[in-house]
Amino acid sequence: MSGQIPCPDCGGIIVFDAHALLRGETFACAGCGASLGLARESVATVANAMAKLDALRKQGDGRRAPG
């Protein structure tokens, strides 16, 4: 699951992969080099939130009309 977040230092865009963040990878701003990562204490909370989001997406996919 890819995403983007504004860099808190320069306002540029940091592109990241949420699953890679859970594995401990960090991502850097192309503009200033500031890095984005998860603290170890946050991994379980983020993993739980991602699981709930995935479940909601699957429920939504089942409700879509064919087309």
Tens digit of each residue's pLDDT (9 = 90 or more) over 25-67 = 999 999 999 998 999 999 999 999 989 998 998 988 766 555 5
Name the pTM for this structure.
0.66
Mean per-residue pLDDT, 9-28: 93
What is residue 64's predicted lDDT score, i.e. its pLDDT?
Answer: 56
* Cα separation, 2 vs 4, whole angstroms: 7
- pLDDT, mean of residues 15-31: 92
Mean pLDDT, to the nearest integer, of 12-18?
Answer: 93
